[in-house]
A and B are shown apart, each in its own frame.
Chain A
């Protein structure tokens, strides 16, 4: 196997390197990809079309919003899949009973770690919300903010114990919120279908939202980004919680 892998890798690498001679040099603004009418349209017209200054957000949530919906579904599938593969159904029932019993936050953790996390977690969550909400004007958006928010719960679990984190965001609530995120996303699309547009055509939502058509696009993007944020936050936490405890949510990292 090793020899086969080495030969394959060398041959494939040589072929790929050979083909790279055709590529334009790095940083060439006139390369086919960078100078293509579609790429130029994204740069030149996005602000007119959507009033969103962060081009990545606009392309992500509007021009290619359909991709992004399925990307959110991929995250959802990962969470469901992990639970299906290693989740222990009986542990869930036990756990529901146990959650009621209160335990002091992080009794068995180191003081310094605990205090640091106490300071960091709220700031992190606030920052995550900012990243989601301000994704139109600065780097950020539903994924980035969602990952940060999810990370804040992971941090909580690492410092204060998983049970503590689960008490704040239980697994079933996580899945509900994750599903809700996708419903929010697809709901915007269905709404635009109901109003006579194509799926995810934010322009027809103009009738429901304040501002002009471009503003309607901007607002709709905010809604779908929030949906993405819900799903990513909760699923990342669920992935961590299950992998850290072999799916029983009890004893773990």
Chain B
């Protein structure tokens, strides 16, 4: 029975969502209990999976869906069904996704009736299905199944953004266009690979690519790699393709923003790692292609541009959004530095960045809620007025800057180490400059928070699309719990750096077949 548990991470939220559609379409009160219940079980299942993998010394769980085992060895041993593959890193990400969604649900509970009145059930269904899509993408070992799950998470994201106020629809429309181009590029890349390889199982494709020198040299496989990467970058808002992200996360209902900002781009990075390590294999990418200088260069530009654009923002959420763009640059660059420290750093940074982005977005939402102000002026006297939110914000900000003992310090450490080992000095420099810019950015905010004059919120210094005045409230108690959990997670992921790096290293060693 215990081998079925990993699947519950997907099935329970799925059934929760569908059950809401079946029984509770007119019963808004049922929305939150189901969300909590389903995500609670999913978190437990994810933790169970993680513990099992750790217990077994970092084994890889493989699961054949529909019970189709691989063909017998004499008939090539290829997979005919769809396969799941969960290693220690995937399990960590699963715990992360479900836990963030669960904690964010605490905040959602306070806001759902205000920000999506009359649509609570629909919102809850989309929320749960987004979690299903994200978790599925992390563990699937089939290139096309990945596409289907990618579309589930994309469609739910579009809807979760578009449900917001006026400007949200336009932001969401741009996201749809960009997202569809990205997903189609991915699909086309998989098509190019399929033409040459004939299978969709990621492990099998890797095997064929490793075996055939002719394929490795062929233009079509290179183009496939290019299209898949470009598609994933579009989806994760890599710098020149980041246009959709700030508006989408800014104008979305605030619980959507605080769910998607930490998870969606990070899961795309996980997918990119899977494609790089398991599908193409590092020796193909770095021995055959030699795209490293170009991509690391792009990543450096992304880091600097994201940081500087963040510095130029007056709107709190927009600033955080551009920080995400910079962080995506960190991760793409770290992955394409291409040594073990770099890739371990990226994997670790996925976890820590998700924690700190979540912490910052949740704190920002609480601050905006409390002050009714969405620009940096919101922080005047914040330490006295909203101590919990501001403390959480501080923890998240320290992590963004990269101060110990927060997780941002440790993951950046690995990234820097990777950059130095590979001699990619411009990447190292970009990381350091970006940290400095982050420091300037956040200390500016702390300055306002500590020394700014406290004022009664003025009569609506706000643009028409911001939250209406009647929604200003005290920060609900449940949200405070969420903030505390998020802040603790930021520090805990930092303090646990040794075991986490160890597990990630193990997972990478296990999957680095050809390395």
Contacts and interface: CB of A to CB of B under 8 A. Distances in A.
Q: Please say whether the chains A and B touch (CB closer than 8 A).
A: yes
Interface of A: 15-16, 18-24, 31-39, 41-42, 62-67, 70-71, 73-74, 76-78, 80-85, 87, 89-90, 172, 175-176, 178-180, 182-183, 186, 189-190, 192-193, 197-204
Contact of B21 (A35, A179, A186, A190): A179
A22 B117 CA distance: 55
A67 B145 contact: yes
Nearest to B214: A22
Interface of B: 4, 7, 11, 14-15, 18-22, 25-26, 63-68, 71, 75-76, 78-82, 116-119, 122-123, 125-126, 129, 132, 136, 142, 144-145, 148-149, 151-152, 155-156, 158-159, 162-163, 169, 172, 188, 192, 194-199, 218-220, 222-224, 226
Contact of B159 (A42, A81, A198, A202): A81
A20 B119 CA distance: 48
A64 B20 CA distance: 27
A80 B159 contact: yes
Contacts of B119: 83-84, 87, 89
Contact of B220 (A22, A82, A90, A192): A22
B81 A77 contact: no
B155 A77 contact: yes
A59 to B, nearest CB: 9
B123 A186 contact: no
A74 B151 contact: yes
29 contacts: A18-B223, A19-B222, A19-B223, A19-B224, A22-B219, A35-B198, A36-B197, A37-B76, A39-B198, A62-B66, A63-B81, A66-B81, A70-B152, A77-B129, A77-B152, A77-B156, A78-B155, A80-B122, A83-B122, A84-B119, A85-B162, A175-B21, A179-B18, A186-B14, A198-B67, A199-B4, A199-B7, A199-B65, A201-B67
Contact of A67 (B25, B67, B129, B148): B148
A218 to B, nearest CB: 14
A31 B148 contact: no
Closest 6 CB pairs of A and B: A201-B67, A89-B118, A36-B198, A81-B159, A179-B21, A19-B223
B411 to A, nearest CB: 32
B25 A38 contact: no
A85 B199 CA distance: 38
A202 B26 CA distance: 35
Contacts of A175: 21, 25
A60 to B, nearest CB: 11
Given A35-B198, A81-B158, A199-B4, A73 B129 contact: yes
Contacts of A32: 195-198
B449 to A, nearest CB: 36
B149 A70 contact: yes
Contacts of B196: 22-23, 32-33
Which of A20, A67, A193, A202 is the most central at the interface, judged by chain B CB atoms within 10 Å of its CB?
A67
Contact of B195 (A23, A64, A74, A87): A23
Nearest to B153: A77
Nearest to B69: A198
A81 B25 contact: no
Contacts of B25: 172, 175-176
A-side binding surface: helix, strand, loop or mixed? helix
A77 B123 CA distance: 11
Question: Which of A64, A65, A80, A175 is packed against the most chain B CB atoms within 10 Å?
Answer: A80
B225 to A, nearest CB: 11
Given A186-B18, A200-B67, A204-B67, A36 B158 contact: no
A161 B148 CA distance: 35
A15 B226 contact: yes
Contacts of A78: 155
A80 B127 CA distance: 11
A165 B63 CA distance: 44
A38 B198 contact: yes
B495 to A, nearest CB: 37
A66 B65 contact: yes
Given A90-B118, A193-B7, 12 more contacts: A33-B197, A36-B197, A73-B132, A84-B159, A175-B25, A186-B14, A193-B4, A198-B64, A199-B4, A199-B11, A199-B66, A204-B67
Given A36-B198, A41-B75, A19 B220 contact: yes
A180 B22 contact: yes
A76 B67 CA distance: 26
A123 B71 CA distance: 44
A12 B218 CA distance: 17
Nearest to B158: A81
Contacts of B63: 198
Contacts of B117: 89
Contacts of A193: 4, 7
B11 A190 contact: yes
A66 B84 CA distance: 11
A80 B122 CA distance: 6
Nearest to A71: B148
Given A74-B152, A175-B21, A81 B66 contact: no
A206 to B, nearest CB: 12
A192 B172 CA distance: 39
Nearest to A201: B67
Contacts of A77: 126, 129, 152, 155-156, 159
A19 B158 contact: no
A72 to B, nearest CB: 10
With a 10 A CB-CB cut-off, give which of B7, B64, B67, B192 has the most chain A CB atoms: B67
